[in-house]
Structure 1
Amino acid sequence: MLASLCRVAAATAIAGTPSPWAPAPDAALDVYETALRSTIDPSSLRTFHDALGREPHIAGTDGDWRVIEWLEDSFRTMGLAVERHEFWAYLARPVDARVELVTPIRHSFRLREETLDADPDTAHPELEIGFNAYSGNGDVTAEVVYVNRGRREDFITLRELGVDLRGKIALARYGGNYRGYKAKYAEEAGAAGLIIYTDPADSGYGRGLPYPEGGWANGTSIQRGSIKTIAYSGDPLTPFRPATRDAERLDPAAVALPNIPVQPVGWSVAEAIMRRMTGRALPPALVKEWQGGLPFAYRVEGGADLRVRVMVEQERRLVHTANVIATLEGARNPDELVIIGCHHDAWGFGAGDPLAGLIAVTEAARVMADAARNGLRPARSVAFAAWGAEEHGIVGSVEWCEANADRLTRNAVAYINLDAAAMGPRFGASAAPSLKSVITEVSRRVPAADGRGTVFEQLTRDQATPGYGALGGGSDHIGFYCHLGIPACGLNGRGGQGTAYHSNYDTVAWYRRVVGSDYEPARMITAMAVGVAANLASGPIVPLDPARYVTDGRAQVDALRERAATLGIEIDLGAVTAGIDRFEEALTAATAVRGRLGVGAPSAAADRVSGLLREIDRAWIDEGGLAGRPWFRNLFAASDPYSGYAAWLLPALRQAVERRDAAAIRVQADRYVAVFDRLTALTDRLTVALNAM
């Protein structure tokens, strides 16, 4: 029986019975959680939304600084200690852009959303044209090639078809990968320029009525966004070090930023171009995957008679902006830190992205500060963070992580990310393995936003167990999780009937029409965030679950074997599996002791146990990082280097498998054996520490 306890701990946490490592039943913690949940106020969330979403606030603009100052004033009014962390980052802003039909007719397209009488904010003078930050500057006129979603496999398909992109303008639709990789692969294929458009099948009339009648993209909706794809997150010129005013910086010419002009457009522009394409039709085998929602058959090539002009001029320069971090000091272990965060910058008003998350961070700060004034204060400190310049490539949070790396490595318990979190009533989460159990336990007590039971019941309506995603790229967890090894999670509510993602239509009016004006999704997200934070910050033993690394580790080894078989290569991961077995055996003893202890009492012994649980997450950090991406040091998880957003688990091995490199597979397998040996040694120490309680 004892030999199976570790597997039982991980399995029962998923199946419904709490893991021994999950928060133990605790009357005092129940009182605290209940007090926090009961004071979350939809009218407060609405007020925060009005204040934060009143004007456009791209990073470094006057509007951005007004948001920063509002956050500082609000957090101080709550009684929190406020830090303004300033940084100077290399950002991009638009100067001018053109997309034109040159032949068979001459026509210049509008590159800004149309203004709407139903939403006066869409006429705000500070709204920018559509742009992809870090586009190369250039002015090209050329034939057009449709590249589907601009994924790596799409360009491979075009090469196999004999389609030559050299000197052509690539036309890609959004989706399938991070937009920066569309630009990277187009440039590598020899394209002279790139147009990226929003296809109506993905987020326009193929999904429902367009805005303002409905909530989906209309023909002029333009998705803005960064296209930076360098091998690290944060400021492009200061990898591994904070971007202070006087920091030593790389030469911009030495940084692999895009060189070709890249311009995003709405589907009405794409329709006018693609309707005139007369070249090679889609091969029948590609129609199902490559045909979008425009009302004609898509083609691969435009033909010699169709020529399009793309001109982009952007300014890249150092921009001064800031993070805002407000801290509620812990009563017993103030140096230990749980962080709840979301970025504050936006491409326009940002009512959904980021403010649907930032209002939850702000409300979480308010209710936890109020509880502290009423005598309910967590043992560990809780920080509420609003990050700057996330939209340009996860800049502000990474700069804070790099500036505070030693302190965070020693003392951070976890990071809870709420980027654009409250976008609908359906709860979801992506998380490090060690945080899945605490999320599940909190979900049992939080009402679902749709009014049908708890979040846990919502998560298990259509499946036996809650399912959580893996953290990949694309948001502010990256610096904490992938660089420093601090466990992180992203909480979200989805299911709203529409999208205004990164467009000038992402206004408070759009949000209330599409997501709703009752702010129930934001209440749910706030309740989940404060519940997870309260559990992580309050218990004598921090509720990080090491058993999930056994089940998740085994699952990923199996997935790698399957991937290798698909690629036609043989791999031997027996040594890695044996390492997992040794870790599981050590964890069995620790789990048995933990199961007998219950809540425990605050003590130096409990602090030692909590410290060892934090070290288990840090054991995945390897100073050498990933091959070609040394900034990514977490050997458990990293972003997919071919798509950007997706997660690669056991990424050093995954990369070697994808490259079909037998020698590299053996080397990386040895690194993972070393990780599991570190985990085993830490777990042996954990058992000793638990027995001393």
Structure 2
Amino acid sequence: MATGGAPRRKAIAVLLSAAAALVFIWAAVSLLPAPQYVLWSSFSSGSGSRGNGPANNGGIDPAQIFLHIPSTDHLRHNLQYYASGTHVAGINTSQALYTKEYFEKQGIDSKIVEYYPWMNYPIDQKVVLFNETTYEIFYKAGLKEDVIPGDDASEDPNNLPAFHGLSANGNVTGKLVYANYGALDDFEALADAGISVKDKIVLVRYGGFLRGLKVKAAAMYGARGVLIYSDPADDGYVKGKVYPDGPWRPESSFQRGSVALIQEYPGDPLTPGYPATKNAPHINPKDAKNINRIPSLPLSYRDAQPLLQALQGYGKNASDINPSWVGGLKSKGVEYWTGPSALDVNLLNKVEYKMTPIQNVIARIKGWEDPERAVIIGNHRDAWCAGASDPSSGSAILLELARAFGELKKLGWRPRRSIILASWDAEEYGLIGSTEWVEENIDWLRANAVGYVNVDAAVGGSTFAAHASPVFKDLLYKVTKQVPYPDSNKTLYDVWLRESLASSSAAPLLAKEHSKDSAVANSVHSPLPQDMQSSGYSSKTPVIPPLGAGSDFTAFMAHAGVSSLHLGFDGDEGAYHSNYDSFARMTAFIDPEMKLHRVVAQVWGLLAIRLADDAVVDFNVVSYARELKHYINELKKHISLQLKKSEKYTTPSSADSMEAIAVKNLRHLRAAQRQLLVNAHLLEHDKRRLRSIYGEDCQMSSRHRRAICLKLRESINDRVSQLERHFIDPEGIPGREWYKHVLVSPGRWMGYGFQLFPAIAEAAEDHDWKKLRQHEKHTAGLIHEAAWFLRDV
């Protein structure tokens, strides 16, 4: 025994020396500069998908090859097709067939999945200013957008009139009242000024607040109908030159869109929580909680000007309520008064509701190793008009991704996990196509979905932005560092970081209605809480805010618990939902050479390849646990604000007591967050152990060791990809049970903006401190369960 000790120690010393040398070599290599197009080995610490699978044809590098495939010529052709005319949900079957056939030409299995939601279409609309006694008509709104010479989209005979999706039928008359943006605070300000909107027609401007909630707020205060106009201060001539001389909204342009109450639930109004299949049972339309009950119409600022002038001298001068109530028409002599007017307004919104078939196009590239696991990428296809930006820029890119994946398949590539490409229908009415598909496939998604990556209006400007589950954060940074930014020696990440640091808040891509109603939304509802803008987030990386609602990621993230990411280029929204969101405007002012389209294609495709092909899914659960701490800090501030609001109902001592209880109760959340962080680090330790002992691809001769490696790798992938599911409460958010994500869901009155810890925050808003404590403890329990799930091997 004693004689063998020295040789053994010597052997161990030799091994340690060899290990030290390897570490030195690795460190030296890691300091070498990265090439412009990085190989797969640089994307992940393991061997990734360099051909070890049987279907990968001897080791091609799909990531490096893919970067060079997307073509601006192909993207231009695709965009011309999709933006060649109006393609409203339910009447765009030809585009669904084209999309399916295009996928199949690339060698990708594809099918059309139909649903039968309840949707409306315009029949007759009218806005008339008249004297109710004499019936003299003083003004009749044109409700029509001008033809722009040279822009075919502006003269399409299929263009819709002024119209709101899922709006109420109605023919109503009343005095006119101006209510600024139509937020709850605006109606409260009118009431404080002694001005009632009961039985009135309310005129509000687009911006800062979801249009459906403007209608709901007006109805709560007793209004008969709502007119929503685009003020030039928000996205018209005050911003710059109007189309066709510039990108901003011209005087005849109005913004179509849905007035669905998306914060209640998205999707088909009559099948909440289950798919709208052909023979599905339907609730009574009177019981549908996500539709408004009073009629509404959109207006251009040309049509709104005579109405605002009819208010002059009646009620209060809007500037006396708040100077921010004065819009851009002041330059044309409009003084902005509240009313009520002396004259009456008649609002007619005649629509036809009917069950209408819609078509999702679903394509699948089958994975070679784990075909049941799937990465889903999606974009909606329907538009209120030609929709060059929204959504056709994304649709054009989705086709180009299919072509690129087809080219890789010709080289022998198959993804490790399956990739699903989805072209959704009826998003514009209220996220209907994606919601119905998620509801129909909910069990499969919760068992097998790795993640969902959404692109909507892929190119609306030149500012890159993303919103995501925190697990995506590091992966998106890595991918954007691989994508060159056009006409520069920078990467997309470099430009994104510079713009993020220069901005006081994150770019407002999160929700179209929340942010794209107008530029003013940036200041009215900051998409990122101040606490998270400053100390909560590193200034060394671009900000990636959480997801609320507003596009097709909603059902995946907030209902099914599938980690999701939403990305694209945002910017000048002067044609949003109008006839001027056209190919001509896109190529004149937004992306003439389709270079930004190509950038989105590269980012989107690389994300799909990484998620589908990496041996270990590159989701960072430590990032999630760390950001949860900042969520809690923001929640504490929200509770404190609500306590201050409640002081007028309580004595100071009781308010102090309630605040102490509320803040003290956050100890459950803080303890759960700490446990989640500890266990997230343990999972990272498992990743390191896998790499150092076995290697991520588990390529070894010993069957026993390979089996152990595969089991450990599967456990890691399950834990990182299913963490989000553990933040899903089957009971849902109280009062809005369709939304089930307890950490981040859309707020009740935030439009599509996110609400952190919605059940807790809303209990505070209701000053229900008992429920607040209950929800805080329940949410902490779910986080603890998530933490132990991360630890389970």
Range into which the TM-score falls when normalised by the shorter chain: over 0.9
Aligned equivalents of 2:470 and 2:242: distance in 1? 39
Residue type of the partner of 2:550? G
Name which of structure 1's ranges 575-584 and 263-272 shifts more when overlaid on structure 2: 575-584
CA contact (8 A) 1:166 1:192 kept: yes
Q: What is the match of residue 716 of structure 2?
A: 609
Aligned equivalents of 2:597 and 2:426: distance in 1? 23
Q: What is the match of residue 240 of structure 2?
A: 208
Q: CA RMSD of the aligned region, Å?
A: 1.9
Q: What is the match of residue 467 of structure 1?
A: 543
Partner SS, residue 418 of structure 1? strand
1:120–1:673 CA distance, 2 compared to 1 (3 A): closer
CA contact (8 A) 1:405 1:484 kept: yes
Aligned equivalents of 2:253 and 2:594: distance in 1? 25
Matched, 1:191 2:223: yes
What is the Cα deviation at residue 136 of structure 1?
A: 1.7
CA contact (8 A) 1:134 1:314 kept: no
1:40 to 67, 70, 73: 70
Name which of structure 1's ranges 25-34 and 417-426 shifts more when overlaid on structure 2: 25-34
1:586 to 679, 689, 696: 679
CA contact (8 A) 2:747 2:753 kept: yes
Q: What is the match of residue 509 of structure 1?
A: 584
CA contact (8 A) 1:49 1:359 kept: yes
What is the Cα deviation at residue 108 of structure 1?
A: 1.3
Matched, 1:521 2:521: no
Give CA deviations for 1:551-592 in whole Å, capped at 9, x if unaligned: 221111111111122222611301110111122222233223
Aligned equivalents of 2:726 and 2:153: distance in 1? 49
CA contact (8 A) 2:434 2:552 kept: yes
Structure 2: where are the runs of 5+ without partners?
1-42, 51-59, 502-539, 645-657, 699-709
CA contact (8 A) 1:473 1:640 kept: no
Matched, 1:260 2:260: no
What is the Cα deviation at residue 217 of structure 1?
A: 0.6
Q: What is the match of residue 327 of structure 2?
A: 292
Residue type of the partner of 1:99? V
What is the Cα deviation at residue 23 of structure 1?
A: 4.0
Q: What is the match of residue 94 of structure 2?
A: 66
Percent identity over paired residues: 30
CA contact (8 A) 1:226 1:392 kept: yes
What is the Cα deviation at residue 303 of structure 1?
A: 4.1
Aligned equivalents of 1:398 and 1:427: distance in 2? 26
Aligned equivalents of 1:485 and 1:518: distance in 2? 38
1:314–1:255 CA distance, 2 compared to 1 (3 A): same
Q: Kindly report which structure 2 residues correspond to 1:421-460, keeping only aligned pairs within 5 A, or say none.
A: 421-449=458-486, 451-460=488-497
Residue type of the partner of 2:65? A
Partner SS, residue 388 of structure 2? coil
Give CA deviations for 1:21-48 in whole Å, capped at 9, x if unaligned: x943657569321111111101010111
Q: Kindly report which structure 2 residues correspond to 1:626-641, keeping only aligned pairs within 5 A, or say none.
A: 626-641=733-748
1:584–1:255 CA distance, 2 compared to 1 (3 A): same
Residue type of the partner of 1:594? K
Matched, 1:78 2:185: no
Q: What is the match of residue 198 of structure 2?
A: 166
What is the Cα deviation at residue 458 of structure 1?
A: 1.0
Aligned equivalents of 1:367 and 1:111: distance in 2? 43
1:666–1:625 CA distance, 2 compared to 1 (3 A): same
Aligned equivalents of 2:567 and 2:362: distance in 1? 19
Aligned equivalents of 1:681 and 1:479: distance in 2? 26
Name which of structure 1's ranges 667-676 and 71-80 shifts more when overlaid on structure 2: 667-676
Aligned equivalents of 1:72 and 1:556: distance in 2? 42
Structure 1: where are the runs of 5+ without partners?
1-21
CA contact (8 A) 1:362 1:384 kept: no
1:682–1:451 CA distance, 2 compared to 1 (3 A): same
Q: What is the match of residue 545 of structure 1?
A: 620
Number of matched pairs: 663
Aligned equivalents of 2:74 and 2:46: distance in 1? 31
2:342 to 305, 327, 335: 305
Matched, 1:650 2:725: no
Q: What is the match of residue 236 of structure 1?
A: 269
Residue type of the partner of 1:60? G
CA contact (8 A) 2:189 2:321 kept: no
Residue type of the partner of 1:261? P
Partner SS, residue 340 of structure 1? strand
Partner SS, residue 498 of structure 2? coil
Partner SS, residue 547 of structure 1? helix
Partner SS, residue 461 of structure 1? helix
Aligned equivalents of 2:117 and 2:475: distance in 1? 36
Aligned equivalents of 1:260 and 1:27: distance in 2? 56
1:341–1:24 CA distance, 2 compared to 1 (3 A): same
2:391 to 354, 370, 385: 354
Aligned equivalents of 2:432 and 2:100: distance in 1? 20
Aligned equivalents of 1:431 and 1:24: distance in 2? 23
Name which of structure 1's ranges 104-113 and 334-343 shifts more when overlaid on structure 2: 104-113
Q: What is the match of residue 566 of structure 2?
A: 490
Aligned equivalents of 2:44 and 2:328: distance in 1? 48
Aligned equivalents of 1:255 and 1:39: distance in 2? 46
Name which of structure 1's ranges 242-251 and 578-587 shifts more when overlaid on structure 2: 578-587
Residue type of the partner of 2:374? L
CA contact (8 A) 1:151 1:643 kept: no
1:370–1:183 CA distance, 2 compared to 1 (3 A): same
Aligned equivalents of 2:573 and 2:207: distance in 1? 15
CA contact (8 A) 1:615 1:682 kept: no
What is the Cα deviation at residue 423 of structure 1?
A: 2.1
1:600–1:161 CA distance, 2 compared to 1 (3 A): same
Residue type of the partner of 1:371? L
What is the Cα deviation at residue 597 of structure 1?
A: 4.0
Give CA deviations for 1:146-180 in whole Å, capped at 9, x if unaligned: 11111122122222222110111100100111100
Matched, 1:272 2:306: yes
1:136 to 156, 168, 173: 168
Aligned equivalents of 1:585 and 1:511: distance in 2? 48
Aligned equivalents of 2:151 and 2:86: distance in 1? 14
What is the Cα deviation at residue 493 of structure 1?
A: 0.9
CA contact (8 A) 1:579 1:673 kept: yes
Give CA deviations for 1:596-645 in whole Å, capped at 9, x if unaligned: 54461153431222112222111101100000111111112111211321
What is the Cα deviation at residue 328 of structure 1?
A: 1.1
1:623–1:99 CA distance, 2 compared to 1 (3 A): same
Larger Rg: 2
CA contact (8 A) 2:47 2:615 kept: no
TM-score (norm 1): 0.93
Residue type of the partner of 1:591? E
What is the Cα deviation at residue 304 of structure 1?
A: 4.0
Give CA deviations for 1:294-348 in whole Å, capped at 9, x if unaligned: 1245434234423222111011110011100111111211111111101111101
